[in-house]
Amino acid sequence: MFEKYWGFLVICLAYILAITVLTSVFHAEPLAVVAEPPKKLLCFDVASKILRTSDTNLLCNPNEESLGTTPIQHSISRPTSINRTFEVRFLAAQAAGEKLGYKLRITSGFRSQTLQAKLFADAVRKYGSEEEASKWVLPEDISNHPWGTAIDVNYPGDKIAVKWLEDNGSIFGLCRVYENEWWHFEPIIAPGDLCPQMATNALVTLQNMATGAETNS
């Protein structure tokens, strides 16, 4: 008798289970979407030299320019000038330093590949080999100067002002990257992050590229 209705009972149970599952799906509470908290955003008015704090929701005012929220990577195509966000970072740092009596200026920023090649050739003659030259000047296809993402500050002049920039540049997303070049800065962090340990010299960049290791410049 039981065997006679077994198949029917199985079908009924399966039907009840399916109805239960469908009901729970249609009446379930929608999943809450957790919004990512806004990131701090520094905004600089170049005309008034005022730096203020905003966030990625409120953004900057029309008269302001953002310092960005990430390290600055160079573009795919070759530029013809310094990266603008990088420049704004320096201008903001320059204005802050000026209020404290420190004078900062870019003595070498964007360079054409032709100029960089000449500087490297001059360095090879000066130091006697490409390896030694690369500790101070990188070839045109590797240096970040032709990419608009490297600057030399106050070279060969006021080191005291540049020491202030080294100590405070991370606020603006600027870092000194080489131990042997007190004047060389790059935008390798987001504003407010900590600068990484400096490389001994620029040759490390060349060696890291040869081995595929990550580099800061």
Q: Which residues pair with 151 in a beta bridge?
A: 185
Do residues 85 and 173 touch, judged by C-beta distance below 8 A? no
- First-last CA distance in the chain: 83
Bridge partners (DSSP) listed for residue 63 = none
- Could you read off the pLDDT tens digit of each residue along the chain, which spans 217 residues? 445 555 555 565 555 665 554 555 455 555 566 778 999 999 999 999 999 999 999 999 999 999 999 999 988 999 999 999 999 999 999 999 999 999 999 999 999 999 999 999 999 999 999 999 999 999 999 999 999 999 999 999 999 999 999 999 999 999 999 999 999 999 999 999 999 999 999 999 877 766 665 544 4
3-state secondary structure of 5: helix
The answer to whether 42 and 53 have CB atoms below 8 angstroms apart is: yes
Amino acid 2: pLDDT = 46
pLDDT for 126: 98
Q: What pLDDT was estimated at residue 98?
A: 98
Instruction: Report strand pairing: 65-66 vs 40-45.
Output: antiparallel
CA 117 to CA 141: how far, in whole Å? 9
Edge to edge, the sheet with strand 175-176 lists 106-108, 151-153, 184-186, 175-176
What is the C-alpha to C-alpha distance for residues 149 and 142, in angstroms, rounded to an integer? 12
Token pair for residue 129?
């080999």
Residue extents of the structural domains in the chain: 40-211
Instruction: Kindly report the CATH class assigned to 40-211.
Output: alpha beta
- Smallest CA-to-CA distance from 188 within 50, 68, 14 is with 68
Element (H, E) at 116: helix 113-127
Cα–Cα distance between 74 and 157 in angstroms, integer? 28
Token pair belonging to 146? 């032709």
State how far the Cα of 185 lies from the Cα of 175, in Å rounded to an integer: 5
Chain CA centroid to CA 41, Å: 13
3-state secondary structure of 86: helix
Residue 169 CA to chain centroid, in angstroms?
Answer: 13
Place of tokens 């006021």: 158
